[in-house]
Amino acid sequence: MRWIWIDRFEEFESGRRAVAVKNVTLAEDYLHDHFPGYPVMPASLLIEGMAQTAGILVGEANNFSEKVILAKVKRAVFYSLVTPGQQVRHEATLEQMSGAAAMTSGRIFCGAELVGEVDMVFSHIDQNISGLEFPEENFVFTDEFMSLLKTYREQGGARVSL
Amino acid sequence: MPTPSKEEIFGKVRETLVEALSVEEDEVTEDATLTGDLGAESIDFLDIVFRLEKTFGIKIPQEELIPRDILSNPDYVQNKKMNEAGLKALRESMPHADLTAFEADPDIDKVSDVFTVGTIVRFVESKLNAA
Amino acid sequence: MKFVLVDRISELQPRRRIVAHKALSLAEEYLGDHFPRFPVLPGVLMLEAMVQASAWLVRASLDFAASLVLLKEARNVTYKSFVVPGQVLTIESDCKELTDEQSVFAACGSSDGRTIVKAQFTLRHLNLADGNPALAELDEQIRAHLRALFGLLSAGCPTASAAGRP
């Protein structure tokens, strides 16, 4: 299983707002355990989708010079269930940013329906978590994430014809 | 806009701490320490700073609330104890803090006890009065 | 991946408290992306582990009455450190409130004596039959599956096994 919980950026306003979508499909393993006979997207993985959307927004605001990680989920609340065949839309807003941390708010939609809200604090790993050795390079923003952003910027919605 | 009274500031600070730290209102007393009594982690300090900025409409540069450069300066801290020069620098940069207990036992590992609810309230008050 | 984030239950006091464990292994494929050259348990999976442990307490305390036990709201999920492959995340969850429809927990996770994560959250307890009586059989299938899984997870824990017996 790949640890990527967004499929495509729909909107990206540097330093302000990002919108990413994720399709939910029975081809995903975890759904078969959650639950057998009645698959629903786990809330924790919806939180991760928002964390990836908001994390890239925060990282890009600093040109990906810092390793940005999720440090605190202030509040995550869910109003309805997401099932296979649906598309989830993560709308993240950068609320505040300082040298050490960033705060984001987020709304999760399925079509027009508000499915959940997630407010988070991100911090820069070097500054705030001590006692652990980690590699110098920015391992947080993997090639997959960078290419999602690149695709959004370069294609701008244009489709490739065969 | 008139400056809020100390009671109003305390009330809003208490609300902020209750929400940020999942503690009960009655745990948030003037003398309660953020890390010891209220269980705050370092990320919680950052969260609390953001919330105070938003609630009170003030800017709080990180170094003003917690002067990390003084706390980690080898000229001021030797063998995990802060010396007289360090205490002087600390007093000057943190007029909002009650350093009496820390001055009696300047063990750098205990410096987080300096941050009580009262410290935060006085800090916000001084920022609002300066604005 | 198998979405089972609890490997073992070591203590269970019905309606009150559960202690459970999640072991982390390099065999878990998602670690390749999280992160390259620095594999660590994702924070949301720590939350999921705490939620699943608490859900087991709900099920055991209410005799598996609800087929679905889901996260409704999480507050102040605070991450303090990492869990790396080879380590075990030990979850301690205390039940603050428990009704037939929902429960409230304060939980923390630790590893090798270090606090890793803490959180407060509310779980909702549901049966599909509540919305559509035709789905009662599906509820029963889910319940049966989960009873069997609970048996596996609580095998070494007498209080848990006793609570889980129908």
Please give the pLDDT value at position A106: 98
pLDDT band at residue A130, thresholds of 50, 70 and 90? very low
What is the C-alpha separation between C138 and C144, in angstroms, rounded? 10
Please give the pLDDT value at position B1: 60
Top residue of B22, B24, B27, B46 to mutate, by most chain C CBs within 10 Å, is B22
Q: pLDDT tens for residues C24-63?
A: 999 999 999 999 889 999 999 999 999 999 999 999 999 9
Could you confirm whether A90 is annotated as catalytic? no
Domains of chain A in sequence order: 8-143 (3.10.129.10)
Mean pLDDT of C104-120: 96
Please give the pLDDT value at position A128: 47
| Other Cβ atoms within 10 Å of A72 Cβ, number | 25
Mean pLDDT over all residues of chain A? 90
Mean pLDDT of A93-99: 92
**pLDDT at residue A6 greater than cutoff 70:** yes
More confident residue, A18 or A128: A18
Please give the pLDDT value at position A126: 62
More confident residue, B97 or C23: C23
Q: Which of B43, B50, B53 sits opposite A128 (nearest CB)?
A: B43
Mean pLDDT of C100-113: 97
Q: pLDDT tens for residues A16-69?
A: 999 999 999 999 999 999 999 999 999 999 999 999 999 999 999 999 988 889
Top residue of B17, B21, B43 to mutate, by most chain A CBs within 10 Å, is B43
Please give the pLDDT value at position A133: 64
Please give the pLDDT value at position A157: 58
Q: Does C152 touch chain A (CB under 8 A)?
A: no
Mean pLDDT over all residues of chain C? 95
The CATH architecture one would assign to domain C8-157 is Roll (3.10)
pLDDT band at residue A8, thresholds of 50, 70 and 90? very high
Please give the pLDDT value at position C73: 98
For chain C, the structural domain boundaries read: 8-157
Q: Does A128 touch chain B (CB under 8 A)?
A: yes
Contacts of C2 (CB under 8 A, 6+ apart): A29, A30, A33
Q: Does C79 touch chain A (CB under 8 A)?
A: yes
Q: Poorest-confidence range of A95-99, C25-29, C89-93?
A: A95-99
Mean pLDDT of C87-94: 98
Mean pLDDT of A122-126: 80
B-proximal residues of C, 105-144, CB under 8 Å: 106, 120
More confident residue, A149 or C58: C58
What is the C-alpha separation between C134 and C149, in angstroms, rounded? 25
Please give the pLDDT value at position C71: 98
**pLDDT at residue A151 greater than cutoff 90:** no
Q: pLDDT tens for residues B48-93?
A: 999 999 999 998 887 787 787 888 888 888 888 888 998 898 888 8
Domains of chain B in sequence order: 1-61+115-131 (1.10.1200.10), 67-113 (no CATH)
pLDDT above 70 coverage of chain C, percent: 99
What is the C-alpha separation between A22 and A149, in angstroms, rounded? 14
User: What SS3 string covers chain C?
Assistant: CCCCCCCEEEEEECCCEEEEEEECCCCCHHHHCCCCCCCCCCHHHHHHHHHHHHHHHHHHHCCCCCCEEEEEEEEEEEECCCCCCCCEEEEEEEEEEECCCEEEEEEEEEECCEEEEEEEEEEEEECHHHHCHHHHHHHHHHHHHHHHHHHHHCCCCHHHHHHHCC
Mean pLDDT of B24-43: 92
Distance to chain B for A126, nearest Cα, Å: 13
